[in-house]
Structure 1
Amino acid sequence: MLGESAGTKGEATIEQIGRRRTFTRTLQLAIVLVVVQWPMRQAVQAGVDCEIPGRLSLLVDGTFIVAYVYASYRAYKYIRFLNRQSWRKVAAVGAWLVFGAAILDIVEDIKLWQNFGGAACADLSTGLLTTVMVGVFVAGWLVLAVSYFATSRFGQQKLYGVELAAPAKFTPSQEAVSPDAGKLIITCSGGGIRSASFCLGALQHLRELGLYDKASTVIGVSGGGYTAAAFHVLRREVDDPFAQGSPELARLRRQTRYLLQGGRAIFLAGLSVLFGLVVNLLLIGITLRAIAWVLGWFLGHEGVIRDINSEIQVTWRPDGSWNFLIVAGGLIAVSATAFVIEKIWDRWARMPDVVRMVLASIGSVSLRYGVPVAILLLGVPGGLYLIGQLPGDSGLPSGLLALVDPTQQGVTSFSALVVVLIGLGRSVWNGLAAEGKESTKLKDRILAFAQTKLAPWAGTIIIGIAAAIVLLRWTGGYATEKSFASDWGVAVILGSIAVAIKVFTDANRTSLHSFYRERLSRAFLVERKENGSAASIDYYKRLRYSSWAQPNKAGPRLVIAGVANVEDADFVPTQRDCVPFIFESDQIGIIGDRSLPDGGRRRTADYEREADVLLREVTVPAAMAMSGAAVSPLTGRVNGRTRPVRVLLAVLNARLGVWLPNPYWNNHVDDTFPPVTGFFPTLSRYVGSVIDKPGPYRLLREAVGSPSMYDRRIYVTDGGHYDNLGLVEALRRKPKQVIVIDASNDAEDRFSALAEAIATARMDHGIQIDVDPKPMIRGGKSRADRAWVYGIATHPQAEGEEAPYKTEIFLVKAVLTSQLGWDLEVYAGRNPAFPRTATSDQFYDEWDFEAYRSLGYSLAESLTGHHRVRDRLADL
């Protein structure tokens, strides 16, 4: 099945659409930068006070060079992807010509920069060098344009009169019979350390009965993935992992505060948060400074903002002309005009689809750029005007200036702002992590409302106000103070910061994922030494998923469930905002309902090399961390609750998700990323992998963007953002039996995680689940009758089958029942929230850990101890 996007009519693959979008967006950025330079060049040609606009134009031109080189490279990659050998070589020539023009452009800018240092106005031309540069530039883009047209479907039809099929793509084989068919699957639900402890006890009991080793696959989700991975890795070497009295279980009891275990971990956590926060603030700062510089000069040059008697004055119609207002609102007017034309045309005649598509494209593009242009050109002067109207103040209020002034007062105010944002972030997390806990107390309801409704928007509003203040002050300064606008050393600082961020870090390294991954690895992934002791596996040892997720001696395969955050209406229902992303030893990638296009899975060994040449991004601890990435700006199905706090989480660096390569891209028959040998090939692969890491643009997508299946990279987060039980993925594999270990923190007696899994299995795979959880309902009783239920899943009847395939479901749930051990009774009496401790609490002591572990063991024992369940599970 091929991808579908506006205008493609399902005739292009996801990668083809994505590569075309990537190219066109980069090209649009280059065009925007040309437009930005235009008034500066006009000012230089006017010959009056031209140093500032001339040099500023050269700075913008430097960004333009980067943009058009990227655009030409992406155009070539798109044409190469279409696999037209003759045009591929022609496009390569065009790309090299553009690159050559960029080199000449840089040399030209250096020469022009020196020329603007004199008293007389210089021209924005170096004679022959400029002529040659422009000629090479135009020639390169003409070659690329011809190649682009010739390889398009329209070009193929016009030039050759043939309908060109979509390029062949590699689709991993889908076995007619699942390797799990007729076998047992165990799933461990999400829920942080609560679920990890509960699932550990259940897995201990299932291993003692031999059911763990009989299972073909264990699926871990979020916190359940901690235990699933720990059990699997240790089972590769020993027969009794985490048995009672074992050294690894004793060690795990010492790691129950795994996130901040010891002073070193606390120190590293603080540095991780601070590092990402500083990088984020630097990115915001240099972006605002660059915008303010260009915008301030333009508004000052046009006479919109003036300094009259040390006061900022705003004039909407300089010299009585409407030109400025036309420029500010022109693009929005174009968008509105396209809309009106479509409506009038449709009133009197049938509009061809081509015309409708062109008008829609014009309206969409003009609106996309028209809104920010109007905000900057009208909103910034408007903000300065309103501030100027404040009584008794000739400029920005001193309290607001303190936020951005490099004075002692400013540092204090800025620090206070950061503290407030951190406090809001903590409050929001506590509210969101309550997971449906309900209270009849007015105080608790007011607190929940403040945490989940008010605090998220308050944080976003505060960040917006702070950014607006900074932009207003800097823009006013650049518009009215010549010395401010001609401080070219600032450009060197901004450029150096941008280069340093690109060279020394990336969007994944600035997030908390690396810290989280290391803490999970050191706490849960252990090995038993020859002397009988247990120690964590060396964190720097690459536990490649393709190797370590397979059983070594005996036992099941390890599968970790995450989600890829996407918001395409082409692929996901409204407000679902995600598709499953499954880690397996053989294949890895996107798995969803039957309407998703083929090709979303890759060979795991190939994907590991593509994600990172040093093989660090797709490992067992990395998969554990991604599947448990509950704290992220993007959260799949729960985006509705977390959307108001996206900006706050992104700025505060509360980001556990990871940007991985889109498995739909580079999914060809040939091995795209084979192992390389030799010094120079290895160096080239290494440098290319480092440069290709996700940049600041991805952080923007996390904060305010819409992630797409067409993007080159996808954002992988908590598997519980799709199905917290792992049941849907288990049923997709058509096993004979599934044991679900459920420690979800859904509302008591609601079993919402189970309900969502039932609905999802039916919607995505046509699987009908018949299960009645009423025996687990406590209702008015002091305890539930039992903590497990039995159900049947009926799969759609396949061609050739005499009857639909059925799967037996055994679900054990973390609820309190009678006949628990006295230690659990005492613990439950002391801890009223047990066994539904909030997921926000990830700091357990030995009593907390043992209570949940013992509960998991006891309830699993009650499940398997029932004679009917025991007989059914024995029939494998």
Structure 2
Amino acid sequence: MLGESDGTRGAATIEQVGRRRTFTRTLQLAIVLAIVQVPMRAAVHDAAGSPLDCEVPGRLSILVDAAFATAYVYAAYRAYKYVKFLNHQSWPRAAAAGSWVVLVAALLDGLEGLRLWSDFGSAPCADLSAGWLTWLMRAVWLAGALMLAVSLLASSRFGQQTWYGVQPTPPATFRRSKRDDKDAGRLVITCSGGGIRSASFCLGALQLLCDRGLYDKASTVIGVSGGGYMAAAFHVLRRTCTDPFSPGSPELARLRRQTRYLLSGGRAMFRAALSVLFGLIVNLLLIGIVLRAVAWVLGWFLADQKVITPDLQVDWLPNDSWSFVGMSVTLVAVSALMFLIEKVWDRWARMPDVVRTILTTVGNVTLRYGVPVAVLLLGVPGGLYLLGKIPDDSADQPSLPSLLLALVDPTKQGVASFGALVVVLIGLGKSVWNGLTVEGKAATGLRARLLVFARTKLAPWAGSTVIVIAAVIALLRWTGGYATDTTYQKDWNVALVLVAIALAIKVLTDANRTSLHSFYRERLSRAFLVKRQDNGAAVALDYHLRLRYSDWAKPNDGGPQLVIAGVANVDDPDFVPTQRDCVPFVFDPAQIGIVGDRSLPDGGQRETADYEREADVLKREVTVPAAMAISGAAFSPLTGRVNERTRPVRLLLAVLNARLGVWLPNPYWNNRGEPSFPDRHGFVPKLRRYVGSVIDKPGPYRLLHEAVGSPSMYERRIYVTDGGHYDNLGLVEALRRKPAQVIVIDASNDAEDRFTALAEAIATARMDHGIEVNIDPSPMIRGTKPRADRAWAYGIATHPLEDDEEKPYKTEIFFVKAVLAGQLDWDLEQYAAEHTDFPRRTTGDQFYDEWDFEAYRSLGHTLTRSLVDHHRVDDRLSSL
């Protein structure tokens, strides 16, 4: 049930729960930063009259206070947005005024910090106060905070029911998704995932269907991953010619020259290397900024508490007091206490749900922050203590601690160590890639089995382990430096550099731009999206053209519309079964967004034209090439239903920038049946929309979600990846549209005679939509025979009975799969004899030559012809 984990029991929409969570998380961050300043302020007070002693804690407090001011401004803004969403009475205006007042307080806070900065180190200091300016800032901040608090309380369920006697915002509804009936009674074609293998196979199949008039007869073509390459290519080319990719055509000849589409030529290889390197550098810089900031505050605090002495010794009981240890475990103890209270109370009496919710919430929050606090305050000194205990074997040779600490020193040795670390990570990444592409295949021989085990089981964890160890070493080195060396503590230029780097990253790039999506999208566009010019030449469409999905995916001259299937990665138990970790995300020219079963509430789809503007004011993020790249984003830290395979390498893939997925706006947010970004003329409105769109791009927080986080349906942005992470055939989406007939072109890499993709699609259709699929692929099983009898199967899908129906609706399924069946043309027979993996070549190999491409294209054409030439199939397909 929606919001059950928050105790709402379906009494709130996804956006309402998400906005509340966003506000509370930002507020918690502001509270944490305020608490961090407490020991610094105490140190300044204790050092009254001594300019040198109060300089470090005073200026460090100003730096932390700047982060605190930024956090509470964001919290105020998100509180206003939450109240505005609730839209009760006149409280949104009061919340807006409160957020502006808080912003004024933040500006005054900044002026106070600038005034105090120069005082420390040059004059006696008794407190972190600038006199009347400080009191004015506090009064303004308190006024704004009170206005926001009253607005939040008045707009809440409690306030509305208690003060106004009205019901809160209507809850979400769970109805079946309304369809526009465009596909009802029509033919739908689906092209499965499988990289260049599927693109080649689907090309041959679509050529045959186009030649027989079935392509133009279809209402929709659904593409998944590699099948989406060719589905989009066919659709776009058909706008300029009636016989797309026909035999002997210039566009087909051009496509044969693009079979190494990812790294076609030295220029593409150079841009690919730069794309990886750019994202890798940004990721490492972000990690370094966080570690350095944490080490600065932590090192000063451990030195101030006398836990770490100037000679790098560790005293767990400074001044013979247990206060430091107690402080380190307080939050964890509170979490345990909440659990204990719940168990004892439940032993003696019935506990009200509201009390249980409060205890659980407090316990979860204190545990969330208590574990990092305990690890930092106890684990870091413990790490330094262990390093100090490692003996030095020789006075002439450096000890192990000094070698480890040199990893983060700006010396030749440190640079060399860092370079070696990057090389090791890249090597592990390559090994992991090879392991992911061979997993599931039977290995013969001891050496082969050991190699597969190392690549699939050891290398993934080794990569993440190396990253964690490197981060721990950097944190220990910097913390030890700040705790023992005053020159470290007083080097304020470092703070300026860190802030400058962080601002540059925010201004110049975002989590989508640092990924490989942009490179991947461009390569797909230049390879597959072509047009036929008046002189008969086939050329790539100009990449700078915005092929808006709402326009270019529409049907042209009576042909089919283009639909691309992806997935949104979420792991909320409110919405998805255990370990599914995704929901379908569909690119449709009319409606775009999340679709699925009745466990998902209404409102997950948006008008495509409006969504394009929200995703990017320049309308670059939701285009035909972008949809192709997103649907083919198989190589990502988050991978939906196959997360179990990629979870060990999630951190490694994120750091190495092996990220093809994209963060898009959550369609459940701002879905109110009206344009979120209405077209307003004038320079100022356009500038406001442009700046807002640039600022609103996904930041480092999203990258953290990819690496170690748990993506949620309640988030403002969702991570969209390969459609094959939910259904590699596109069959479930086709059946959801209730067509009369579906032709499924399957080039997925199932183990021989297994038909795993088909089985998963059948089970998913039953689980999510109550659709029963009856299809028998046994004639396609080779078994002990030299060849399968045929490469296609016929089935019937029975939809659940709806209120206005007298009998269940049925859909015919024509399923053709890339298997060796019957007598093939001699060139195919020869190719199959020379390539034992044909037609199941791994998707890890995306570099085909002309023979590979033609073999899969010809196979798709031949097998599809065997399907439609069957007299019964021909009769059924001609009946529409």
Please tell me the TM-score bracket, short chain as reference: over 0.9
Question: What is the match of residue 561 of structure 1?
Answer: 565
Distance 2:445 2:114 in 1: 69
Give the CA deviation at 1:780.
1.5
Question: What is the match of residue 315 of structure 2?
Answer: 315
Q: Deviations over 1:713-735 (max 9, x none)?
A: 00000000000000000000111
| Aligned partner of 1:151 among 155, 158, 161 | 155
| Aligned partner of 1:131 among 128, 135, 148 | 135
Query: Contact conserved, 1:169 with 1:669, CA < 8 A, in 2?
Result: no
Is 1:703 aligned with 2:704? no
Structure 2 gaps of 5+ residues are none
Give the CA deviation at 1:753.
0.4
Is 1:872 aligned with 2:880? no
Query: Contact conserved, 1:171 with 1:601, CA < 8 A, in 2?
Result: no
Query: Contact conserved, 2:2 with 2:575, CA < 8 A, in 1?
Result: no
Give the CA deviation at 1:467.
0.3
Distance 1:830 1:663 in 2: 49
Distance 2:875 2:438 in 1: 39
Give the CA deviation at 1:816.
0.8
Is 1:196 aligned with 2:202? no
Give the CA deviation at 1:5.
3.8
Question: What is the match of residue 14 of structure 1?
Answer: 14
Amino acid at match of 1:389: K
Stretch moving more, 826-835 or 238-247: 826-835
Distance 2:692 2:175 in 1: 26
Tell me, what secondary structure is at the counterpart of 1:78? helix
Equivalent residue runs for 1:534-683 within 5 Å? 534-683=538-687
Give the CA deviation at 1:173.
7.7
State TM-score, norm by structure 2: 0.98
Is 1:242 aligned with 2:271? no
Amino acid at match of 1:327: M
Distance 1:532 1:832 in 2: 39
Root mean square deviation, CA, Å: 1.5
Amino acid at match of 2:211: E
Give the CA deviation at 1:446.
2.0
Amino acid at match of 1:569: P
Give the CA deviation at 1:452.
1.4
Paired residue total: 872
| Aligned partner of 1:785 among 783, 789, 799 | 789
Query: Contact conserved, 2:576 with 2:582, CA < 8 A, in 1?
Result: yes
Question: What is the match of residue 513 of structure 1?
Answer: 517
Question: What is the match of residue 209 of structure 2?
Answer: 206
Give the CA deviation at 1:123.
2.6
Distance 1:168 1:650 in 2: 35
Question: What is the match of residue 488 of structure 1?
Answer: 492
Distance 1:459 1:861 in 2: 47
Distance 2:598 2:167 in 1: 27
Query: Contact conserved, 1:19 with 1:78, CA < 8 A, in 2?
Result: yes
Give the CA deviation at 1:162.
3.0
Distance 1:403 1:782 in 2: 59
Give the CA deviation at 1:435.
5.5
Distance 1:398 1:479 in 2: 16
Amino acid at match of 2:475: L
Question: What is the match of residue 281 of structure 2?
Answer: 278
Question: What is the match of residue 454 of structure 1?
Answer: 458
Equivalent residue runs for 1:226-305 within 5 Å? 226-305=229-308
Distance 2:168 2:24 in 1: 22
Is 1:467 aligned with 2:471? yes
Distance 2:680 2:236 in 1: 29
Distance 2:175 2:233 in 1: 32
Q: Deviations over 1:19-49 (max 9, x none)?
A: 0000000000000000101000000000151
Distance 2:117 2:402 in 1: 37
Give the CA deviation at 1:340.
0.7
Query: Contact conserved, 2:432 with 2:459, CA < 8 A, in 1?
Result: yes
Give the CA deviation at 1:439.
2.9
Distance 1:493 1:36 in 2: 22
Give the CA deviation at 1:554.
3.1
Q: Deviations over 1:505-563 (max 9, x none)?
A: 00000000000000000000000011000000000000000000012223100000000
Query: Contact conserved, 2:86 with 2:169, CA < 8 A, in 1?
Result: no
Is 1:180 aligned with 2:183? yes
Question: What is the match of residue 731 of structure 1?
Answer: 735
Structure 1 gaps of 5+ residues are none
C-alpha distance 351-169 of structure 1, shift in aligned 2 (>3 A): closer
Amino acid at match of 1:339: F
Give the CA deviation at 1:682.
0.5
Give the CA deviation at 1:445.
2.3
Query: Contact conserved, 1:237 with 1:552, CA < 8 A, in 2?
Result: no
Question: What is the match of residue 775 of structure 2?
Answer: 771
Distance 2:360 2:176 in 1: 37
Tell me, what secondary structure is at the counterpart of 1:313? coil
Stretch moving more, 616-625 or 356-365: 356-365
Query: Contact conserved, 1:628 with 1:717, CA < 8 A, in 2?
Result: yes
C-alpha distance 51-569 of structure 1, shift in aligned 2 (>3 A): same
C-alpha distance 380-289 of structure 1, shift in aligned 2 (>3 A): same
Tell me, what secondary structure is at the counterpart of 1:50? helix
Stretch moving more, 651-660 or 791-800: 791-800
Tell me, what secondary structure is at the counterpart of 2:518? helix
C-alpha distance 121-171 of structure 1, shift in aligned 2 (>3 A): farther
Equivalent residue runs for 1:711-750 within 5 Å? 711-750=715-754
Q: Deviations over 1:579-631 (max 9, x none)?
A: 00000000000001122100000000000000000000000000000000001
Tell me, what secondary structure is at the counterpart of 2:309? strand
Give the CA deviation at 1:675.
1.6
Q: Deviations over 1:637-666 (max 9, x none)?
A: 000110010000000000000000000000
Give the CA deviation at 1:301.
0.6
Stretch moving more, 276-285 or 823-832: 823-832
Tell me, what secondary structure is at the counterpart of 1:306? coil
| Aligned partner of 1:752 among 756, 760, 763 | 756
Distance 1:484 1:402 in 2: 16
| Aligned partner of 1:851 among 838, 855, 866 | 855
Q: Deviations over 1:368-400 (max 9, x none)?
A: 000000010000000000111111179762332
Distance 2:167 2:613 in 1: 36
Amino acid at match of 1:97: V
Q: Deviations over 1:143-169 (max 9, x none)?
A: 100010000001112212333242899
| Aligned partner of 1:91 among 95, 99, 111 | 95
Distance 1:667 1:161 in 2: 27
C-alpha distance 524-325 of structure 1, shift in aligned 2 (>3 A): same
Distance 2:176 2:514 in 1: 34
Distance 2:415 2:857 in 1: 48
Q: Deviations over 1:225-246 (max 9, x none)?
A: 0000000001122110000000
Question: What is the match of residue 448 of structure 2?
Answer: 444
Query: Contact conserved, 1:740 with 1:810, CA < 8 A, in 2?
Result: yes
Query: Contact conserved, 2:11 with 2:172, CA < 8 A, in 1?
Result: no
Tell me, what secondary structure is at the counterpart of 1:397? helix
Question: What is the match of residue 34 of structure 1?
Answer: 34
Distance 2:596 2:446 in 1: 42
Amino acid at match of 2:501: I
Distance 1:431 1:2 in 2: 38
Amino acid at match of 2:637: P
C-alpha distance 171-676 of structure 1, shift in aligned 2 (>3 A): farther
| Aligned partner of 2:124 among 116, 120, 134 | 120
Stretch moving more, 826-835 or 730-739: 826-835
Query: Contact conserved, 2:633 with 2:661, CA < 8 A, in 1?
Result: yes
Question: What is the match of residue 78 of structure 2?
Answer: 74
Distance 2:749 2:25 in 1: 43
Distance 1:396 1:618 in 2: 52
Amino acid at match of 1:6: D
| Aligned partner of 2:437 among 422, 433, 437 | 433
